[in-house]
Amino acid sequence: MLNFSRFLSIRRSISAVFLLGFISFSGFAQAQIADINSAINKAGRERMLSQRMAKAYFQVGLGVDTDRSKSALDASISLFDRQLVELKNFAPTPEIKDTYQKLEKSWLAYKDALVGAAPNQANGKKVLELSEEVLALAHQGTVQLEKHAGTTSGRLVNISGRQRMLSQRMAKFYQAAAWNVGGNQLSPEVEKSRKEFSAALLELSAAPSNTQALREELELVKQQWFFFENALNQRISTDKTLATNVATTSERILQTMENVVGLYEKSSR
């Protein structure tokens, strides 16, 4: 249970996110893939981006912080493109290369749906469907890379990286429901993702290899999770304030999880 002073402190940090806007990924993925854990990190980030792009698309359609949502969509598309090229080039086995070739085909269709026309609800249903297809292949590639590594550190990079995806997946379904794309009720996938996120957070927190920096970041994730869950618990309505709460808290927890994944990746070197 959070004490009141801690609550106020966290609440101020959340308010700051509202003022600063959505996070930028311009600083990520600039270096080429250096090793297998770097590959797992980037593969996992592709998995997350598949969901973040749909979330941002729906937010533009909803008129939720439109300029920043457009920027988030554009930045995510550009980053997905760059990392896909890197992962195809790095692929250490024919099976993994085949996965990324299949992902490239699915990505071209998804990208076309995202940028082919201004966001509209009819096309939004296609975006929702294609985001699931791209996610499945991106996840397959990440798992294959983790198995190829065969290390505890590789598993931790994968698990923590999947938390990024789950944060965006839950927000994606909330915004889809708010825009009445695929129904105006939250998908059962949201509850499934909540359980998976909570279970993985416990596993990460208990990892024997955690450094002090990792323990501190994971504690911050727990605090951000408190606010993100509260935002997800809001009723689905046409009130843009509620959708904005989900948008901003999902970005904040994503940023914190990005820090965690980076620390796990570096700790293996």
Percent of the chain clearing pLDDT 90 (strictly above): 81
Q: What is the mean pLDDT of residues 216-235?
A: 95
The reported pLDDT for the residue numbered 80 is: 98
- Quick one: pLDDT at residue 79? 97
**What is the model's pLDDT at position 28?**
53
Asked if pLDDT for residue 71 goes beyond 80, the answer is yes
- Which of 160, 121, 167 is closest to 142 using CA atoms? 160
Name the nearest CA neighbour of 235 among 169, 172, 176, 178. Answer: 178
User: Is the pTM value of this prediction over 0.85?
Assistant: yes
* pLDDT tens-digit series, residues 163-209: 999 999 999 999 999 999 988 788 899 999 999 999 999 999 999 99
Q: pLDDT class for 263, splitting at 50, 70, 90? A: very high
Which pLDDT does position 23 carry in this prediction?
58
pLDDT grade, residue 142 (50/70/90)?
very high
| Stretch 31-46: mean pLDDT | 94
The pLDDT confidence band at residue 138, using thresholds 50, 70 and 90, is: very high
3-state helix/strand/coil string of the chain: CCCHHHHHHHHHHHHHHHHHCCCCCCCCCCCCCCCHHHHHHHHHHHHHHHHHHHHHHHHHHHCCCHHHHHHHHHHHHHHHHHHHHHHHHHCCCHHHHHHHHHHHHHHHHHHHHHHCCCCCHHHHHHHHHHHHHHHHHHHHHHHHHHHHHCCHHHHHHHHHHHHHHHHHHHHHHHHHHHCCCCCCCCCHHHHHHHHHHHHHHHHHHCCCCCCHHHHHHHHHHHHHHHHHHHHHCCCCCCCHHHHHHHHHHHHHHHHHHHHHHHHHHHHCC
pLDDT at 98: 98
